[in-house]
Structure 1
């Protein structure tokens, strides 16, 4: 570094780089003999250091400060000669030390290093570190060997300080390998590391997870009579505990003759928690009490957080109880983490209890923790149980009292769960309450909640929320309109759905393919083919490309209105057959427009063929699915089995059933129902009972329709005892007989001449909350009249009069009169 007049720019650079870290005397600017400062030296003399100090530099301060003898160190004559000669030896170029004059005996860099280290009593302050950084003393460019030798020749003590300083600098930078190199240079020059250097070396090896090397350094410093400081010892014990070597940590403390304090024990507990040694961590906590070393809030928090991070939630409860008992309270952030952890584990009850513990510890539950709990309960795909949802509602009520709001994700999730539990009014109120608290819902939240209400068939609430959204200046988007249109379509309210469609077009909201498809499908199901075609044309003219769902809806719609041929033509064009006539309307987008049919497309066609009793074509289509690589599902198989059964082809139905099982599709209640229905019609009760038994074996419980069919079938062949046993088994399985079941059983008893059981069963069904209907009364009255029990018939007629008068009374009065 050059400090001549020709190098004033370099001096300015040095000052800027150092900022306020160095004073003028730190850089070697000291008073000259006889009270003459450098800036005041006679510039006419060739021996003067002209230009060394620039009087315009701001960092010099007032001249009175510079002249203050109490703040300035004087040079001796010998020191001044070294300063003069070293500066004279410096070259004119910034940073160059190649040019030198004959008078110099030490370079400028060496001189500056000497002076900065001399000026610091501890040899390891902020100033020397920053100065060495300016000199480029890093892992890429270490201090040159010749500079070190120059410093040694001038001041051996300073060289020792410098090398120790460099080692510690690299240690603090985490460069343990460079620190080792500097340690070698230190020893090569005949010096020993200082205590501070050894501590720094131990720390850097611990940070690098090199415990064995740290032990070697510790042994060397121990041989020299040095002890580790408290911080280094704490780091050492922490690292040992972290790898489970806690006994060695205790031995190390004893070797160092250090009395363990709260800090040391806390670091050891932290290490044990990282190693998941929680029993040992608790033992150390008890050890602290036994040696009168009181754990502080940091100790407990570290232990609690350690257990929390490792999901040891049972221990967390015990530690939290200990903390509160000792008056060492967790921070709000720790409480937030605890609530989150217990929510993730599904222990929502304890998570809610933590709110009370927060208040006990002086922490008022706020925005974060309320959203964590309610989000944890309502943010899962599965809806929470009613008791868990009740906890969310309690927390929500407390949150409102505290003036806190939910975030928009939790608003929609909470509303979804409330709708799923049937609490639609509450879900609607949540939206309004959040708005009253200043929470502004966006279009996404409104749309989600409207969707939840629509899925729960609460169209009135959805409509009110939709109107409120518009009043608040929120413009509905295509998703909002599509949800409403789809809901009204499913409810059969085509006119209202069309009005929504027209409204969105007026407001400049372009319908998407889903919007068009659901409305087209609804028109077709209502047999309004012209309206569907008109809407499809509008869809194409607006540039909305139909997808496989649209074409599937067209095929299904045409099948349902009996236009099976047109459905087949649309299917053929989907497959790329351009020669198919009469369906050009649906394929104006491109002449080569090909859309692969999916399983729903095939299912619609199979169902259409089966309903038209063209089951062989349906079966051919099933084979085509396999050829095209489209795997069939149980819906397609069910439709085909039902189709074969309805046309009396039971053997073919059984073949499809076998194929269905081979493909890994378990038969469901509809599959079994179709088979049982056909078997009963063919009076093959033995096979029907086997199918029923198979249902129960495969954990597919029959419904009331199947049970009723079986009971009726048994009664028709005179097996009333078996039918009644089946009826009792039905109730045991949790399937309650309905009025049709009772009527079938009563009719069976009547035909078998068991009038007493017939009348008894009539009284039982009323007692079990199943009211007889007109058919039931007609069956019983007929059997009573046939058996000559006219008084009973008259009494039943009077009962019937109270409910079914006068519609069905006249005919029965004539019957009774004829018997009389």
Structure 2
């Protein structure tokens, strides 16, 4: 349908006549006012006469067409705008440029700019600002920078400061330093100067560049020209906290508090709800030294800002300031309180990053004294700061406080608290908290839970949470897969060997995890590959173990990643456990030939391999090679060497080597002593066994279930049944504690509930202790209960036993240190 142009004047005349007939005679002034009203065209009411109203109407029509996506119609209307009889001015393009700036629509702006160029229209500062904003918001920073240069050099229009500020803001948002530096050079050449908005944009750029020194330089320059205000201090605090300068952030926060107390507050709210400084933007330098953060404050303000502390010695100071702090009560409903709370929250979050829980607690107390109500964001930072030191119980208390105040915790708060519960192995609580986390962009709280399940050997709980993770479409990261290989790679439970069925299941699980990794584009890390190889070794799958070792070599070679000794160590250890000593030797030789330097653990594994092969000479050669490469023998090394000597029943040399390890300051462990006890029990050498037990007790090395078995078996095999029961009781007590006073304290807890209980569920309770990863305690309680059932009295003072006295006597006769 063809659009008919209606003369605006005739519409106005008709409108005026109808009004005249309705109301009768009017004075001339009234009719002139009516004639200024123009009829509605396309839904817009245009004011003015003739060509002026025409240009405004066309602008509004162009904007409507652009909003409706009718770009060809908008271009046609733009041509109509340029074809008018009257000369065009800059204001005739304001509506179009404003739309292009806000949309943004840089392409239509360029079309408009071509028309402005053709008509040689002089521009004003408002149009310049809108033009630059249109290009910047559309991502055309290079073109915007060229436009600023062009306007200043060729048009004789020197863009005012808002244009430069808008451009700097775009540079900060798009994170480009090159264009920002060009803008600053232009500002310096044209001597534009800076205002508070300029400093704000420069701070954003400095934070993006992680340039703390630049922030301090901006601070120095700012206080040369301006006195401090709440809004500017907030921006500096934000910058210091983002760049992890906690000291400067805290000092600046105290300046802000002091200003609030002094009543020097210039904070207002726009109609849109945004906060701004209502102070006139007139440079007034701060008092005090320029270039320093020292600002002169009143006496009371200095006390509050610099002497405020949570120590009991400063309680009186806090009380004396209550009257001064009471001033803030007048601002409770004003924006200043919100600004203060934001800044406190920023600094508390910085405390969390710096792990400074004491300062975080100090700031929370200060907020309470100021009458500032912490927000959910504040508690989020406070929990992150306090939890690593105070533990999850403190976090749960804070969660209760938030609930009492009807405050909903952030998802990140619940996630951080769940992580601490996982670290404390409180799996029920950790899982309950994760159930409340609706949105979590990172898998780290789930990874912490998987790690706790791995520690507690509860893979079934990990399966449940993994399903929830998939329901929430949360993509796993490499840490997730590392833990999944550790949790599910091997099927057989602890203390069980792999069989054909468990090996088939293990293969299926590993393939499923690797397929999921490929689906999510995650490659193996050293730890994920190590855990995979460890799982295969635990199942006794030697062929698959070697296959994945070759895959790892190709993978890390292809990615130019140094493979490292730990992966080889895992394979070597598994091969030795599977009695594949020759294969382990070949891999060790390949390591050396490829230039991969073995570590101390590698040498210890190969020395243990020599013990399996009963080759003391090769073990000594490895020890020599180990020392030459800068690694000294460890307790594990001595254990392997003693094991070889005992294969030849050379107990004297084994004891001498044990003494040498002790003299060299090595921390002797139960595995080393059990190595001697095992062979002594096997060969019926009660004397060697009792001497070793005496030395073991002398060095306060607690026995384990293997110790109990070797000693008990040795006495029973020799027919010393009463001594066997007495020794079993003593060793079981020592597994609980080697201190009589501690055992006496635990007597009431363990004797009635486990050892002497006639309840049919007593054994089940002991098994639950075993499931809770307290294996030694569970075995000790079972041993003591068995002794009680057989009619042997249970003594909770093992050091008064006759058997212990005999150990001491035999040990003294050997010329060793008195117990």
TM bin, normalised by shorter chain, reads: 0.3 to 0.5
The one of the two structures with greater contact order (alpha-carbon pairs below 8 A, sep at least 6) is 2
TM-score, reference length from structure 1: 0.44
What TM-score results when the alignment is normalised by the length of structure 2?
Answer: 0.44
